[in-house]
A and B are shown apart, each in its own frame.
Chain A
Amino acid sequence: MLKDVTLGQYFPGDTAAHRLDPRTKLVGVLIFIIALFSAVNWISYGIMLAVTIACIAISKISIKTITKGLKPLVVIIILTGLLNLFYTQGDVLISFWVITITKQGLKRALFMTSRIILLICGTFLLTYTTSPVALTSGLERLLKPLSKIKVPVHEMSMMMSMALRFIPTLIEETDKIMSAQKARGADFETGSLAQRAKALLPLLVPLFVSSFRRADELAVAMESRCYHGGSGRTAMKRLKMGSIDYLAFTLGFIMMFGVIALAYFGL
C-alpha cells in the first residue's frame, strides 16, 4: 500500500539520460521550465511536447510509470483545465445555462493542462533517472557559490540527502508499527474523521520515538567517523562533465531560445 508510491522514486538504469551529470539535468530541468512557461503558441507547445517525448524515449522509462506518477495530480490538472475553459472571455463557441465556452478558453485550457502535464513529466524524468545521492551532490555543487555569502550549502544538501535516505526506512517502519497495532485490534480504516485521527496516535507516537532514536544514532555514527561539516571535505565520486553533457546543454539552450524567440517575434 504505502510501498506503491512512485512519486520521486529513482529507477536505476544505464541510458544516456541516467549517465548525464546531475548538474546538467538540474539545469536542464530549469531550462525546460523556463521554455515551457515562455511557450505561447501551437508550434512552441509542439516543440516542448516533442522534447519531452524524446527525453522519455531516451531514458527508457515506460509510459505506464509516467501515467502512474501523474495519477495523484489528475484532480489539479482537470480543475485547471475546467477553470480556464469556463472563465476566459472571448468569442463564444457554445453557451447554455450559466456555462459559456469560448474559443480562447478552449485554447487556453488546452495549453494550461499540457503545460502542467509536461512540467510534471519533465521533473519526474529528473528524479526517475537520477539517484538521490547524485541529485544532492549536483545541487550542492551548483549552489556552492552561495556559501561565499554564508549560506550553509553543504549542511543543507546533507540534510536533504539524509531526508531522502530515510523516506523508505520510515515507510517500512510505519508499515511495521501499523501491523503491530492492528494485531492488537487497532482500526485505522473505519470510523468518523475524529475517530480516525485519534486512531493514528498509536502509530505516530512510536514513529516519532523511533525517528528521534534513529536521528540520535545517526549523529553518533557520523561523529565517530569524524564528520565535522563541509569544509575541506572531498567527494568519493567527483562529478565530471562529459561531451554528452555539453551536447545536452547546447540542445537545451537551442530549445529555450527557440521557444522564447517564437513567443516574442510571433508566428
Chain B
Amino acid sequence: METAILETIALRHVYSAGTPFEKTAIGCVDVRINKGELVALIGHTGSGKSTFVQHLNGLLKPTSGQVLYNGTDIFADKKTTHNIRYKVGLVFQYPEYQLFEETVYKDIAFGPKNMKLSDAEIDDCVREAARFVGVGEELFEKSPLELSGGQKRRVAIAGVIAMRPEVLVLDEPTAGLDPKGCDEIINNILEYRKQSGSTVILVTHSMDDAARIADRLIVFSEGGIFMDGSPHEVFSRTEDILRIGLDIPAPTAIAEKLRKLGLPVPEGIYTSEHLKDAVLSIKKGGCTNA
C-alpha cells in the first residue's frame, strides 16, 4: 500500500452547533490521499466538498474525527496547525478576491514571507511560482488590481504555490473563467504537478476536467462520500452519478447514447481518446467487438 500523505478519520463537521441554524456539513468522512496522486473531488453545491477541503489545512476544526498529515494529527498543538498551512496549500474559490498588495510580486511573496524565509529564498519561490502559472516577470511591478480576471486568478494561485506546499488543494480554480482560461489553468496545474511531483487535490464541477486529468475521483453527496475510485470505475456507474444530480463527461454521454442505439460500446468511457478508439474498433470489427 502506498503511503497516505493526508488521511481523515471519521471526519464530521457541524455548523452553528446548538442553535436553531444547526447544519451537518459533513458526517463521517474517511479518506486516504496518497502521495503524488491527483485527486478530483466532485459533488453538488452544498455536498460538503468545500467544508472538507478546509479541514485538510486546519482552517476548520472538525466537530469530531481527525485529520492526519503523514500520520500526525494536525490539531495536536497550535504550532502544528499553523505550520500545516505551508504543507497543504489551499487555493480558495475565486482566489482573486484575496489579492491585496501593491504589486503582483509582493502579493505572491506574502505566503513565503509568513514562512520567514530569507529574501533570496522568497525571490526564488516567487519567480518559480509565477513561471508555473504563466505570469510573466513584466507583470511583477503592476498592481494586482490592474490585471484581467484570468491573470488575477493565476497570481492568486501563484501566491499559494510559492509556499512550495507538499499538497496543493484547489477549490474550483476554473470557476467563472472562459473555456480558454479554464484550459490554461488546468494545464498549468498539470505542468506544476509534473515538475514538482506534489500531490494535487482539485475540487471541480467540470466532469470533463475531472475525467481528463484525475487519477482518482471522490464523489461527495450530502456530506458523505458517495463514490471513490478511478475515473473508469466511477464513470462506469453513470446511472448513479446522474441520480445524485451530477453530470457525466461528454464522451461518456455519447458512449451511452451509442450503446442505447445498440452499438457495442464498452462501459466506463470517459475521455475522447477512449471514445475514438471504441468507435474505430466498431468500424473495423463490425458488431463483434465488445
The residue from A3, A179, A185, A201 contacting B115, defined by CB atoms under 8 A apart:
A185
**Contacts A179-B54, A179-B59, A209-B145 known; A184 to B99 CB distance under 8 Å?**
no
Say yes or no for B98: interface residue by CB 8 A criterion: yes
* A202/B100 in contact, CB under 8 A: yes
Which chain B residue lies CB-closest to A6?
B19
* A180/B82 in contact, CB under 8 A: no
| Interface range for A | 10 to 19
Say yes or no for B224: interface residue by CB 8 A criterion: no
| Interface range for B | 20 to 34
**Contacts A179-B54, A179-B92, A206-B98 known; A184 to B110 CB distance under 8 Å?**
yes
Residues of A within 8 A of B95 (CB): 180
The residue from A3, A181, A185, A187 contacting B98, defined by CB atoms under 8 A apart:
A181
* B97/A184 in contact, CB under 8 A: no
Among A152-186, those with CB < 8 Å from B are 176-177, 179-186
Say yes or no for B16: interface residue by CB 8 A criterion: yes
Bitwise, A187-223 to B at CB < 8 A (1) or not (0) is 1000000000000011101100110000000000000
Bitwise, B1-36 to A at CB < 8 A (1) or not (0) is 000000000000000100000000000000000000
* A187/B114 in contact, CB under 8 A: yes
Among B97, B98, B145, B160: residue with most chain A CB under 10 A: B98
Which chain B residue lies CB-closest to A209?
B145
Residues of B within 8 A of A185 (CB): 82, 85-86, 110-111, 114-115, 163
Distance, CA A47 to CA B100, complexed state (A): 55
Say yes or no for B159: interface residue by CB 8 A criterion: yes
Among A176, A181, A184, A202: residue with most chain B CB under 10 A: A184
Residues of A within 8 A of B16 (CB): 3
Distance, CA A185 to CA B91, complexed state (A): 12
Interface of B is mostly: helix
* A183/B85 in contact, CB under 8 A: yes
Distance, CA A186 to CA B59, complexed state (A): 12
Distance, CA A183 to CA B98, complexed state (A): 11
Distance, CA A183 to CA B54, complexed state (A): 9
Distance, CA A177 to CA B97, complexed state (A): 7
Say yes or no for B90: interface residue by CB 8 A criterion: yes
**Contacts A3-B16, A202-B110, A209-B145 known; A183 to B100 CB distance under 8 Å?**
no
Interchain nearest-CB distance for B138 vs A (Å): 23
Residues of A within 8 A of B159 (CB): 184
Question: In the complex, given contacts A179-B54, A184-B160, what are 10 additional A-B residue pairs having Cβ atoms less than 8 angstroms apart?
Answer: A176-B92, A182-B85, A183-B92, A183-B160, A184-B163, A185-B82, A186-B114, A202-B110, A203-B100, A209-B145
Seen from chain A, the residues whose Cβ lies within 8 Å of a Cβ on chain B are: 3, 176-177, 179-187, 201-203, 205-206, 209-210
Seen from chain B, the residues whose Cβ lies within 8 Å of a Cβ on chain A are: 16, 54, 57, 59, 82, 85-86, 89-92, 95, 97-100, 110-111, 114-115, 145, 159-160, 163
Give 16 pairs: A residue, B residue, CB < 8 Å, sorted on A. Answer: A176-B92, A179-B59, A180-B95, A182-B85, A183-B90, A183-B91, A184-B110, A184-B159, A184-B163, A185-B86, A185-B114, A187-B114, A201-B100, A203-B100, A206-B98, A206-B100
